[in-house]
Structure 1
Amino acid sequence: MNQMDVRLAKMARKGDRAAFAELVELYKDKIFHLAYRMLHNKHEAEEIVQETFLRVYTNLEKYDENQKFSTWIYRIGTNLCIDRLRKRKPNYSLDAEMNDGEGTDWYSMLPSPDETPDEQVMLSETQTEIRKSIDSLPEKYKSVVILRYLQDLSLQEISEVMSMPVTTIKTRLHRGREFLRKKLEHIL
């Protein structure tokens, strides 16, 4: 697949819209799943997919054909997710009244943590616990664990995506697994 990706990227770089559309088809679901697992918001994940392909399209001339296309696109998607997570950090008081004249506070605007009926059917208790545990990982471990175990990237690929040495990736993966093991001891 790597050679096909490189060929498609070269063709898209020369203005071949069909080649770019094929790249989108190949990667849109993978990037969506990556973004959804990192952000847990369907709308934001869809936005990340669009932003990723916009960046890919506008930066095709910067793509180094000596590296895997998948690594390059995952790096773009992961960085966009990390940026989104950083911007998400609340800088407001939950008790502050909003300016709608109705005395509504931020608590009433927070989404319910309850699963929808569809999600309850789809996820077993164990899967739910594992997902919650992954969600609770510190950000630096979370992205590495998601890329390794949910996106099935190799340590070398994660190293390239995150622009970090493989030794750092191994350390973060180990610490992330230890964190998860402690969290999940009671259910497994």
Structure 2
Amino acid sequence: MKPIETRLARLARKGDQRAFAEIVDLYKDKLYHLAYRMMNNRQEAEDVVQETFLRVYKNLDRYDEEQKFSTWIYRIATNLCIDRLRKRRPIYSLDAESSDHEGLDGYAMMPSDDRTPESELILSETQRIIRDAIETLPAKYKSVMVLRYLQDMSLQEISDVLDMPVTTIKTRVHRGREFMRKKLENKV
């Protein structure tokens, strides 16, 4: 018997709007968390989720039912995040003084994410440091680290999502961890 997502995709492909709405309900929160962890921005994460569902809807006829639906939809969302990250302007050194903005350091130039005092209290200092370290990773490591440690995917699942050999995923996880370890050592 096919998984529920595969049956829903088949119904949605035939024009069943309720089936597609169920797919959205099943994945909207998971995709938002993935996108937020990669983009570190609520608005961009919401945009990625919306664009993901648009692409899923337009390309349902391309979905291969032999493949896990979750792998297919995560691949779409992850690729959208990576594309957006690549298009971002270069990251400034947060502590460096900028000659263009006298007296402002890099922290002052970072866009706000509408954080409330309550949400700041919820985040522990350790979580903030780790999130910041993940944010500084190059896109090719960031996507792997988010999928592995924040989405709790196996190396094989990440390999399927990113359409890369498991050995490449292992290397990127290793290098991503090394990159983060160095960043975190400088914080402590």
TM-score (norm 1): 0.84
Counterpart of 1:99 in structure 2 is none
* Structure 2 gap ranges (5+): 91-97, 102-106
What SS class does the counterpart of residue 31 from structure 1 fall into? Answer: helix
Give the total of aligned pairs: 177
1:161-186 alpha-carbon deviations (Å, 9 max, x no partner): 11111100000001111222233346
**Structure 1 residues not aligned, in runs of 5+:** 97-106
Equivalent position of 1:43 in the other structure: 43
TM-score (normalizing by structure 2): 0.84
1:24 is aligned to 24
Task: Give the structure 2 partner of residue 100 of structure 1.
Answer: none
Q: Which residue of 1 aligns with 2:15?
A: 15
What corresponds to 2:174 in structure 1?
Answer: 174
Q: Which moved more, 1:24-33 or 1:157-166?
A: 157-166
What SS class does the counterpart of residue 3 from structure 2 fall into? Answer: helix
Residue equivalent to 1:156: 156
Per-residue CA deviation, residues 61-110 of structure 1 (Å, 9 max, x unaligned), is 000000100000000001111111112125xx9949xxxxxxxxxx9875
Instruction: Please tell me whether residue 84 in structure 1 is matched to residue 84 in structure 2.
Output: yes
- Answer whether contact 1:126 1:187 (CA < 8 A) is retained: no
Structure 1 counterpart of 2:62 = 62
Partner of residue 126, structure 1: 126
Give, in angstroms, the shift of residue 129 of structure 1: 0.9
> SS of the residue aligned with 1:89?
coil
Consecutive aligned runs of 4 or more in structure 1 exceeding 6 Å deviation: none
Percent sequence identity is 69
Q: Is the 8 A contact 1:144 1:169 kept in 2?
A: yes
Provide the secondary structure at the position in 2 that maps to 1:66. coil
Say whether residues 1:52 and 2:79 are aligned partners.
no
